[in-house]
Amino acid sequence: MNPIRSICVYCGSSPGRSDVYLKAGHTLGRSIAEAGLRLVYGGGTKGIMGAVADGAIRAGGKVTGIIPRFLINKEATENALGRLDELLITENMHERKHIMFEKSDAFVALPGGIGTVEEIVEIMTWAQLGHHRKPIVFGNIEGFWNPMLALIDHMKAEGFVHTTHLVNPLVVDRVEAIVAAILAEGAAVDSPTTGLQSVIDKL
Ligand code: AMP
């Protein structure tokens, strides 16, 4: 596993119904910056995506935004994109996702919609196929991801997750504990992660 230098955050391009989600995004961005890590994200300046970037930028953090050309002026404004210290414009979604994967040492899903699910599920499928062992975290703000976690457990119980030991996303309820959880997982390089979730539950 690479040392943790950057964290990719997948999350909604919408704000969601509750302020709690926006606040969580802001807090996560800030804590990534305060840990001296780079935020990698989809470049959007609206919704939770915008809150994460804003939190990181205000705390003096480094931020890479990766956005397909056709989404500029939909998920972002050109002005706001100027605040990012690295902006990569891709031709399509596939290229965007690939660069986000390559540039990131860990992945977090905060509350979001179908795009967020698509992105974090792809990262889990690549873990399942043994392409990477980068930490994957569900930021389970207000239990947002419980239905998704129940579905994964159900798939495991019914025998459809063929390499269960490779698909063990961390579940972190408190947004303030997410970066510490990733660093703890990164420090447990190549050692069994059994018990790590119980350590994280106490963070
Ligand atoms: P959403 O959770 O639907 O608000 O989307 C969050 C982010 O995922 C947005 O930046 C979307 O542009 C992005 N997204 C949506 N669909 C896809 C897709 N098929 N592949 C990659 N990114 C996507």
> According to the model, what pLDDT value does residue 76 have?
86
**Residue written as tokens 């807090």?**
27
Q: How many whole angstroms from 114 Cα to the centroid of ligand 1?
A: 7
> According to the model, what pLDDT value does residue 164 have?
82
C-beta of 48 in contact with ligand 1 (< 6 A): no
Backbone phi, then psi, for 77, in 5-degree steps?
A: -110, 145
Name which residue leads in pLDDT, 76 or 1: 76
> According to the model, what pLDDT value does residue 100 have?
98
Classify residue 4 by its DSSP letter: -
Q: How many whole angstroms from 192 Cα to the centroid of ligand 1?
A: 33
C-beta of 12 in contact with ligand 1 (< 6 A): yes
C-beta of 65 in contact with ligand 1 (< 6 A): no
> According to the model, what pLDDT value does residue 189 have?
56
Q: Which of 147, 137, 148, 126 is nearest to 173 (CA)?
A: 137
Query: Of all protein residues, whose CA lies closest to atom 3 belonging to ligand 1?
Result: 115
Query: Of all protein residues, whose CA lies closest to atom 15 belonging to ligand 1?
Result: 115
- Residues 124 and 134: their CA atoms lie apart, in Å, by 10
pLDDT-derived band of residue 137, with 50, 70 and 90 as boundaries? very high
Tens digits of residue pLDDT in 144-200: 999 999 999 999 999 999 888 888 899 999 999 999 999 999 888 555 555 666 666
Residues 6+ apart with CB under 8 A from 132: 101, 126
> According to the model, what pLDDT value does residue 68 have?
95
C-beta of 71 in contact with ligand 1 (< 6 A): yes
- Residues 199 and 60: their CA atoms lie apart, in Å, by 29
Q: Which of 51, 12, 13 is nearest to 32 (CA)?
A: 51
Q: How many whole angstroms from 190 Cα to the centroid of ligand 1?
A: 32
Query: Of all protein residues, whose CA lies closest to atom 5 belonging to ligand 1?
Result: 115
pLDDT-derived band of residue 201, with 50, 70 and 90 as boundaries? confident
- The Cα-based distances of 104 to 26, 138, 157, 192, 202 in angstroms read 19, 16, 31, 22, 26
CATH 3.40.50.450 for domain 6-202: yes
pTM over 0.95: no
Tens digits of residue pLDDT in 39-90: 999 999 999 999 999 999 999 999 999 999 999 989 888 888 889 999 999 9
Q: How many whole angstroms from 93 Cα to the centroid of ligand 1?
A: 8
Instruction: Work out the angle between the directed axes of helices 178-187 and 19-34 (0-180°, nearest 10).
Output: 40
Q: How many whole angstroms from 133 Cα to the centroid of ligand 1?
A: 23
pLDDT-derived band of residue 115, with 50, 70 and 90 as boundaries? very high
Tens digits of residue pLDDT in 75-85: 888 888 889 99
* Amino acid letter for position 73: N
> According to the model, what pLDDT value does residue 202 have?
67
Q: Which of 90, 82, 36 is nearest to 62 (CA)?
A: 36
